[in-house]
Structure 1
Amino acid sequence: MHAYFVPAAPVTASMEIKKSRFIILLSPTQGIEAVKAFVQQNRDAHPGAVHYCWACIAGPPLDSQQLGFSDDGEPPGNAGKPMLARLMGSGLGEVTAVVVRYYGGIRLGTGGLVKAYGGGVQQALKLINRAEKIPQAEFMVSCGYEQQAWIDAMIKQTGGRVVQSDYGESIILRVAIPFGRVALAEEKLRDLSRGALQLTPIAQ
């Protein structure tokens, strides 16, 4: 898995078209549960609105299984789909867009809706600060107290981190290592321990 960009922080934009007010909200969201929570949060924050259309890329930008959208009562294909198209064009992963609409009494028509929803997301995307995310795999490794210091050093050398340490008769470390450096970490651990220690994958 390759590194990709995610939103560094939420952003908000707004616009008015033919007396309808559109509030565009973008937020980092990892996984579909985070997406659902963000959509609900904005429903709760704007109880007087008539539509809460949304689109998401809940994982890496190229993972088509983690895409989603909703027109939330707008004519099919005129809201969520153009919003998703803008998100996909941004190259971002783990991002959700919600557009809250307060109806102004004037119908916008198909072209007007696509422009409002898709264009609104495009406007908000210009405000986004990006952060690089390097996908990692998690492992367990059991070691003696005398081995911990050089294992910690090895993990840092490969760009990883110790997530958790449990101390008992031996030390059990939960470590996260960038996917592209797992083979290097395994080799270093094998060499340093003369084959006695290994990384045990943790199912995600």
Structure 2
Amino acid sequence: MDLLRELSMGEIVSRLAAAILYAGIQGLLLAGIARLLGDQRPSHDGRLTANPFVHLSVWGAAMAALFGVSWIRTIWFDAKANRLGRWGIVVVVGLGLAAMVAVVPLLDLLRAPALLLPRTGGYAALYLLGQLQAVAIASTALNVLPIPGLIGGSLLQAIWPGPERRLRRLEPFGLALVIVAIVAGWVPNLATTLLPWLQWR
């Protein structure tokens, strides 16, 4: 709770903006990889888009604003349509998270153009880029966990493909557990540890 007292309104707003951008990138990556492997369900569900509001989780955005870590709305896959079957979902989840990690250093390429903006806008853009990198890497580390509601929880669709309704019912409980763990400080934010290894500057 001490962390919340130290947050400024500017930091909360920039983290929220970073969470929105993160949702668009991560959601598009997962849906795109699934489509490449023949699974059209994310496309039919409207998830093959960079529109962040299609992928945004309200609770994930709130956690990003307050604690710098987030998640997206669950993307549902069709193992039968995937060329690799159930293993295809494992590949989509693994590649989707790995691709998000690869995006983090690429964001450094936007720093030079940001410096061409007027001073106030340039500083704001640079700060937002830093927040996006921090939220992205912390969120990727969190989403490795195989908990319903997180990206890693999609692995349950491969292990337990039949009863989708049961998995949907488990989501609120999984996310409630994650939220309690984040607020209680049981889940560390790994951005400060991992980010220096991924930035080019």
Is the pair's TM-score, using the shorter chain for normalization, greater than 0.5? Answer: no
Give the number of the structure whose residues are more often strand, by fraction: 1
Instruction: Give me the TM-score of the superposition, normalised by structure 2.
Output: 0.25
Structure with the greater alpha carbon radius of gyration: 1
Give the number of the structure whose residues are more often helix, by fraction: 2
Instruction: Give me the TM-score of the superposition, normalised by structure 1.
Output: 0.25
